Structure 1
Amino acid sequence: MTPYYPSRRTFLMTTLGLAAARTLQATPYQSLTAGQVIDRIKTNVGIPWREQTVDRLIAGTPELPVKGITSTMMATLDVLQRSAARGLNMVITHEPTYYSHQDRTEPIEQDSLYQLKRDFIQQHGMAVFHFHDHWHGRRPDGIATGMIRELGWEKNADPQNPRLFTFPETSLARFAQGMATKLNIKTMRVIGNPQMPVKRALASWGNVSLMPGIPYLAQADVLIVGETHEWELVEYVQDAIASGQKKALIIMGHLVSEQAGMKYCTEWLKTFIPEVPIEFMPAAEPYWRPDQPAK
């Protein structure tokens, strides 16, 4: 049999192919990083990124490889533990991780609970991104969009004022109960006559101070908020009722008043981050009623 001697061209191509294969084997897979996720958020949120903002990486590094993402209203220790158990090592949270709006840790550096939470994040190789200002700044507001959708109020919204809603007339008690049922709220508080007719409601998700609370209340029968100072807006509404005005205030609780907005954020993130699983993880409502003890 005549021995086979490859041509110079065949030999060269084979050699190059083997070299390329070795290079591919030697090069580790380049996974999605926390920094890349944040860059995509900045690109897709639809508004310029602010210089002054609380929206930043609170824990972890931009180089951290992302295995999965949690979208949540609040990065509580419970949410972090559940995320780690599911292999989701990047948490995108609307509210702070370390108990202040700016996530300042200097005042609590010696606190044992802060240290436990910080160490848990580090030990499990996690990243936490605070996503507040730009999710609200998006048009339409991401939190408001999710809340309106969860309540089924799309057709009730005023085209000129996304906070204002008009409904067929019903009692305050029935209106509040409908909200509590749709959002599974255990500890909603209501100020006003339960039989008061409600047609117009104005919702301001999250925290609402005395101003703009007063002008908000003037536009509707009932003002809906997440939370407010009881010695300010609550007192004002009580005095308005005592003066003869037919007004009401619904206090949902901060967490439940914005939670569906981060559920919507989960769907939004999936439109431009296809590489890893993304899950919505609701934070637990912190309160319970004495007649309905927490389980």
Structure 2
Amino acid sequence: MLTVGQVIDRVKANVGIPWREQTVDNLIAGTPEIPVKGVAVTMMATLDVLQRAASKGLNMVITHEPTYYSHQDRTEPVQQDSLYQLKRDFIQQKGMAVFHFHDHWHGRRPDGIATGMVRELGWEKNNDSQNSRLFTFPETSLARFAQGMSTKLGIRTMRVIGDPQMPVRRVMASWGNVSLMPGVPYLAQADVLVVGETHEWELVEYVQDAITSGQKKGLIILGHLISEQAGMKYCAEWLKGFITDTPIEFISASEPYWRPDQPVK
């Protein structure tokens, strides 16, 4: 039976880039000696995901985003918090291990998250050969383009800025969090910029002002989790290419938001 440490060693050997000295990609919970009964791959190791993994007998979780509410998985701010303690104790009681796999999955070439998202959306043929973030489509309206993305990704709470009838051909996509920079130069290269999340007083305001000034621009905000989830679905497939001696399963993290006119059942 593989150990947690051996699984991590195989990841390091196959990711295709040197392992960084400074990285958030670390074993967050558990020890390298734990025997692995099965691996759950997920976008975010929420308590719900951990419970579902444990119920399936998957005692190692590989997560793209943090377990303990900060990018660096710092626990000092929540040490006395009862919810943190409950989550920590659940992991320990179930004999689980959690491995944070963020920096190197983005750092590989091609970027693992971007690869999975493009595959999920079926955008491979639309990708610019010189710019992996740029896509060209037959002209359509912003409303129709956004609806197509929403349907393919199963989003409940996509947000869109721009004229619904604005023609769309060139799209820039930057999965996950996008700051004002490089958001501004990304937007300059396309009709629409697709992001996971951004500060509303920075890039959102910039796009609003661009539209008011007469520019025909749009911004589609998917939500951070949804904007990278398919990248971890792809990660599970990638892992199966060199880990064949233990079960590996992708477990989707639930979209956290819902709309009042479409309550969650």
Report the CA distance between 1:95 and its aligned residue: 0.2
Question: In structure 2, which of residues 22, 37, 58 is the aligned counterpart of residue 52 of structure 1?
Answer: 22
Segments of 5+ residues of structure 1 without an aligned counterpart are: 1-30
Matched, 1:32 2:5: no
* Pick aligned residue for 1:74 from 44, 56, 59: 44
Determine the structure 2 residue equivalent to 1:226: 196
Q: Say yes or no: does 1:204 pair with 2:204.
A: no
Is 1:41 equivalent to 2:11 in the alignment? Answer: yes
* Aligned match for 2:65, one of 73, 80, 95: 95
Give the corresponding residue for 2:116: 146
SS at match of 1:161: coil
How much does 1:56 deviate?
Answer: 0.3
Match for residue 291 of structure 1?
261
Give the AA of the match of 2:199: H
Identity across the alignment (%) = 85
Matches within 5 A, 1:83-232: 83-232=53-202
Q: TM-score, normalised by structure 1?
A: 0.90
| Cα shift at 1:190 | 0.1
Structure 1 runs of 4+ with >3 Å offset: none
Write the deviation string for residues 212-251 of structure 1: whole angstroms up to 9, x where unpaired: 0000000000000000000000000000000000000000
Q: 2 CA distance for matches of 1:88 and 1:262?
A: 16
CA distance in 2 between partners of 1:173 and 1:70 (Å): 36
- C-alpha separation in 1, matches of 2:36 and 2:168: 47
Task: Work out which of the two has the higher radius of gyration on C-alpha atoms and give 1 or 2.
Answer: 1
Note the aligned Cα RMSD (angstroms): 0.3
Structure 2 match to 1:22? none
Larger relative contact order (Cα-Cα within 8 Å, sequence gap ≥ 6): 2
* Correspondence 1:251 to 2:227: no
* Partner of residue 7, structure 1: none
Q: Deviations over 1:90-120 (max 9, x none)?
A: 0000000000000000111000000000000
Unpaired segments of 5 or more residues in structure 2? none
Say which of 247, 253, 276 aligns to 2:246: 276
Distance 2:7 2:79 in 1: 28
1:193 Cα offset (Å): 0.1
For 1:134, the aligned partner's letter is H
Q: Distance in 2 between matches of 1:182 and 1:156?
A: 16
The amino acid across from 2:17 in the alignment is: I
CA distance in 2, matches of 1:231, 1:33: 46
Alignment partners' CA distance in 2, 1:277 and 1:127:
15
Partner SS for 1:294: coil
Three-state SS of the structure 2 residue aligned to 1:70 is strand
Secondary structure of 2:133's partner? strand
Which SS does the other structure have where 1:94 is aligned? strand
Matched residue pairs, number?
A: 265
Secondary structure of the residue aligned to 2:132 is: strand
The one-letter amino acid paired with 1:81 is Q
